[in-house]
Amino acid sequence: MEYDFRNIEANWRKKWAHDESYKVTEDTNKKKFYVLDMFPYPSGAGLHVGHPLGYIASDIYARYMRHKGYNVLHPMGYDSFGLPAEQYAILTGQHPAKTTEQNIARYREQLDKMGFSYDWSREVRTSSPEYYKWTQWIFGLLFNAWYDLDSNKTRPISELIEKFEDNGSYGVNAHMDEDWWKTYLLEADHIFSSHFEGEFTDTDWKSMSQAQKEALLMNYRVSYLADSLVNWCPALGTVLANDEIKDGVSERGGHAVEQKKMRQWSMRISAYSERLISDLDTIDWPDNIKEIQRNWIGKSSGARVRFQAEKEVTIEVFTTRPDTLYGVSFLTLAPEHESVEVLTTAEQRDAVADYVSNSKLKTERERMAEKKISGVFTGSYAQHPLTGDQVPIWIGDYVLAGYGTGAVMAVPAGDQRDYDFAKHFNLEIKNIFAESDLSEKAETSKEATLANSDFLNGMNYYAAFDAVCERLVELGAGEKRVNYRLRDAVFSRQRYWGEPFPIYYENGIPRLINTEELPTELPDVDAYLPTESGEPPLARATNWERNGMPMECNTMPGWAGSSWYFLRYMDPNNHSVFASEERIKYWGQVDLYMGGAEHATGHLLYSRFWTKVLFDLGYIPFNEPFKKMINQGMILGRSSFVYRIKDSNTFISFERRKEFETQRLYADISLVDNDKLNIEGFKNWLPEYANAEFMLNENGEYTCGWEVEKMSKSKYNVQTPDELIEKFGADTLRCYEMFLGPVEQSKPWDTKGISGVHNFLRRFHRLFLENETFSVSSEEATAAEMRVVHKTIKKITEDLERFSWNTVVSACMIATNELTDLKCNKRQALEPLVVLLSPYAPHLAEELWKNLGHSTSVMNESWPVAENKYLEEDNFEYPVSFNGKTRFFLSLPVGMSAADVEAQVMAHESTAKYLEGKTPKKIIVVPKRIVNVVM
RNA sequence: GCCCGGAUGGUGGAAUCGGUAGACACGCAGGACUUAAAAUCCUGUGACCAUUGCGGUCGUGUGGGUUCAAGUCCCACUCCGGGUACCA
């Protein structure tokens, strides 16, 4: 009876499904543990061997925690809204829901074959109305919320309205766009006086019309509609969030992106910047992800400084180096800066208009690519707040409108860009450093001593920072300021296949649809494209209205549904709330989150944001979603190549390829074994190779070349799990993917080693066989056998506790080898090993467990405990080294004192030889580790 | 440019607290079984020198340092991977 993995695996899969073995229910008598995988987008290509890497690791951990007695929540679902299904729909006219359905079926089939312990009764799909009903509901929560800076919390908008009724805006400290009030001064129907700077009284509030109130509240809402500068991608026909852009082009497709002012929904994530940074300290995530998030949020400490310009204009700048204030020789405004027009003098009008319109034409990418220094003088001056000097105001596109105030104080002495700008336009470079040579470049060190800086002379950055900020406060010309790079997130997409907003417009005022009426279902459309007039696809729907009032035509971005899905798994079929309070309380945070690092600035940031909102509003008792996270590395492909002699149909083996001029062509990796080409298979692969001739190597084989690349169809290097499961079984594949190396590490896929792992499972299986039939002995195991077992229990338990999945497989191999050598077939020794192996090879473990005579599943067995009595050894084999070089071994009793060990070593016959007649200076004895004789 | 990782045999990797570097596996070489092959089993396998046996020297990207002892800690550098950027 060989290891018949095909039958074993098929049978157990069937039985698990039939028994609903992995269904989990809330049980307050048991401790909970929540193991989660980042749910996949079900693409048409299906899974390749790289995808399940993280799933296998988390599944092993989930099974391990079950053995340890935890009630484990281990669900799976699909992030099923997304662009590929929509693009396929545009091409074929097929509804994206149908494509999605088919892809999900394929994914499920592949996932099932792997033997995962998912509770499929809890599956969620972000595109199902049952699910997105609650995504819409959460959108509503954010819409009906504002951010209170006093309590540092998200609060219901109703509280804000009460405050307005009582005392207007006085006493309200809300997070909002700093310049929000300026738009009110530009509007035709002035509701506030021209002195309005954001404060209004309860009388003002009460005198407003409903529409005016709503418009005002929009400045406070956490989810708000505003005209904002967005990243517009013409090729994709939609706006994109900052995290969907890489290197200035769209992450998906690599299309150009331009800045455009559009009326869009946004999320006030910037209000949460500080918490998103500081709470990173409370979670156990990989350092690099934390670092990426810190950089993305981009906290920088500095100061705001106000310069009084002509025509009653105040230019406010943000600087991280207020200590260099005396070095300011000009100001630079972004071309989009609001004061550009007012400050431009008549003489400069044409030049400025030219420059501004020119830079508007350029995309951000073009501006970045063009390293040329450009700028133009406005003709105006501003007064330096400390010296009173008049400094010229310039415009330059190296200043970004979206960061800080869109204006900088230029200190050529202390900033390289300012320096370059000054050199280029021949502007003044004031040396404000005592010992710095500015003939070549700026002095950017914070250690440099200041000079020509009045009361700051002799100080460096660290001393001068506070001193200058104090002075600025006294003068009312500035103050310390922390600035964040993180911008509010655009939440509208001009797409079909996404969540519709639960919003309709009453006379242009956005209104939220009541919870009872949700979900707002995605309407049918005749085509999945924008309308002729450029409206999003939803505008094509007939009846896309509510009581005659138009519905919002944008849909939500991909990250909406994925920002809270981990909560829905807790209570996936609840029709009255997104998840019940008791269940959220029971399951709590995700204890182990497994997924790719590529979501660092998207999904992982947005879920933290939504979690904080739900926490603030009292819906969940924790403010971070994922307590611990591990990122699995990417598995790369290993492409194979054949070498065709130019202008022929003859292929030459890799070793001899230099003999001719050859062309390197991909060969499908399924035709290559150990870099040796299956020649017949290759001929049958593509018609053009049917008559191919081969020049072989000296062993009569055709060797292929290879290269490590990303897996892709066009490179013929995609390894699907299906083929390997067919050939070796899921248990082998599970063990092998773990055996490849640390999960976090990226590594090339190489099928070479899989036979070794398969072999190990066969050898393990064979421990239970005698004369080809299942047979174990009930004799008591020997001390040596028990030592192997308990050593293995200890090792595997420690390895799993530190998430070292790969070394567990080695430990199992070692145990199998040792017990095979001991010819051990005793139940007492083998039973615990079956439990140890079951997280890795669940099918085989179940089969052996059943054959051992158990009627219950091995998955519920408690985890074996290593007992010291089996591990203790009487003697320790001391490596004895001389000056650090190990020379011989000496077996001594474990309990022997250091002094006795030293004496034994000195008495040893070999010692004299290695001492070479010298007297030891010192003898280091580390009990149960090493002896080192220093000469 | 800045920030964060990493570099160990022919290959993937192990070495958890500074304490025997190379576990485990692949590959390769040799052998057993076989008419043969597959499968299986056994032996060897970091490099160099020695080899009749003992053995010896070197060795974890490079150079330096700390230590009785360094893959592990410190300093400088090289290369590779990831993130990010006219961010003031």
Q: Three-state secondary structure along A150-171? A: CCCEEEEHHHHHHHHHHHCCCC
CA to C1' distance (Å), from A656 to B35:
35
Nucleotide nearest to A294 (CA to C1'): B3
Nucleotide nearest A408 (Cα, C1'):
B88
CA A392 to C1' B15 (Å) is: 65
The per-residue pLDDT for A810 is 94
Calpha distance A914→A323 (Å, rounded):
66
Give the pLDDT confidence score for residue A29 in this predicted structure: 95
* CATH of range A873-934; options 3.30.300.30, 3.40.190.10, 3.40.50.2030, 3.10.20.590: 3.10.20.590
Separation in Å: B48 C1' and A811 CA: 33
> Is A602:A244 a contact under the CB 8 Å cutoff?
yes
CATH T-level fold of A25-140+558-631: Rossmann fold (3.40.50)
C-alpha span between A435 and A430 (Å, rounded): 13
Instruction: Give the pLDDT confidence score for residue A532 in this predicted structure.
Output: 80
On strand B, nucleotides with any atom < 7 Å from a protein CB are: 3-5, 11-16, 19-21, 23-28, 40-41, 56-57, 68-70, 81-88
Phi and psi torsions of A709, nearest 5°? -145, 170
User: What is the distance between the alpha carbons of residues A220 and A144, in angstroms, rounded to a whole number?
Assistant: 10
Average pLDDT, chain A: 89
Which nucleotide has the shortest C1'-to-CA distance from A322? Answer: B88
pLDDT for residue A250 = 77
Which nt is closest to the CA of A397, judged by C1'?
Answer: B86
| DSSP per-residue codes, A415-434 | -HHHHHHHHHHT------BS
pLDDT over threshold 60, residue A5: yes
Q: Is the pLDDT of residue A365 over 60?
A: no
Rounded Cα distance between A263 and A272, Å, is 23
List, for residues A678-704, the tens digit of each pLDDT value.
888 888 888 889 888 888 877 677 877
> What pLDDT band is residue A559 in, cutting at 50, 70 and 90?
very high
Q: Please, are residues A697 and A656 in contact by the beta-carbon 8 Å criterion?
A: yes
The Cα–Cα gap between A149 and A172 comes to 9
What span, in angstroms and rounded, lies between the C-alpha atoms of A875 and A882? Answer: 22
pLDDT tens per residue, range A864-896: 999 988 888 788 888 888 888 888 888 888 888
List the A664 CA – B29 C1' distance (angstroms).
31
Instruction: Specify the pLDDT at position A652.
Output: 86
What is the reported pLDDT for A930?
A: 87
**Which range has the top average pLDDT, A245-254, A563-572, A811-820?**
A563-572
Question: A519 preceded by cis ω (within 30°)?
Answer: yes
**Range A299-484: architecture per CATH:** Alpha-Beta Complex (3.90)
Give the sign of the dihedral formed by CA A856, CA A860, CA A866, CA A867.
negative
Q: Rg of the Cα trace of chain A?
A: 35
In chain A, pLDDT over 90 holds for what percent of residues?
A: 53
Q: Can you tell me which residue has its alpha carbon closest to the C1' of nucleotide B24?
A: A810
Q: Is the pLDDT of residue A125 over 80?
A: yes
Per-residue pLDDT band at A276 (split at 50, 70, 90): very high
Nucleotide minimizing C1' to CA distance for residue A324:
B88
CA of A884 to C1' of B74 (A): 21
Letter for the amino acid at A220? Y
pLDDT band, very low/low/confident/very high, at A576 (cuts 50, 70, 90): very high
Mean pLDDT of the A458-465 span: 88
What pLDDT score does A927 carry? 84
CA A896 to chain centre: 52
In the prediction, which pLDDT does A186 show?
62
Q: Does domain A734-870 have CATH number 3.40.50.970?
A: no
Complex ipTM tops 0.95:
no
* CATH topology match: A299-484 vs A873-934: no
3-state secondary structure of A223: strand
Taking the CA of residue A295 and the C1' sugar atom of nucleotide B3, their distance in angstroms comes to 8
Q: What was the pLDDT predicted at A273?
A: 93
3-state SS, A160-202, equals HHHHHHHHCCCCCCECCCCCCCHHHHHCCCCCCCCCCCCCCCH
Torsions phi, psi of A584, nearest 5?
A: -65, -40
Residue A185: per-residue pLDDT: 66
- Range from A69-73, A187-191, A209-213, A897-901 that averages highest in pLDDT: A69-73
CA of A816 to C1' of B43 (A): 20
Structure tokens at A462: 């660290």
Nearest protein residue by Cα to C1' of nucleotide B86: A398
Range name among A359-368, A524-533, A594-603 with the lowest pLDDT average: A359-368
Domain ranges, ordered by start, for chain A: 25-140+558-631, 299-484, 637-709, 734-870, 873-934
Give yes or no for residue A217 having a pLDDT over 90.
Answer: yes
Cα A317 from chain centre: 34
In the predicted model, is pLDDT for residue A364 greater than 70?
no
- pLDDT at A926 (0 to 100): 86
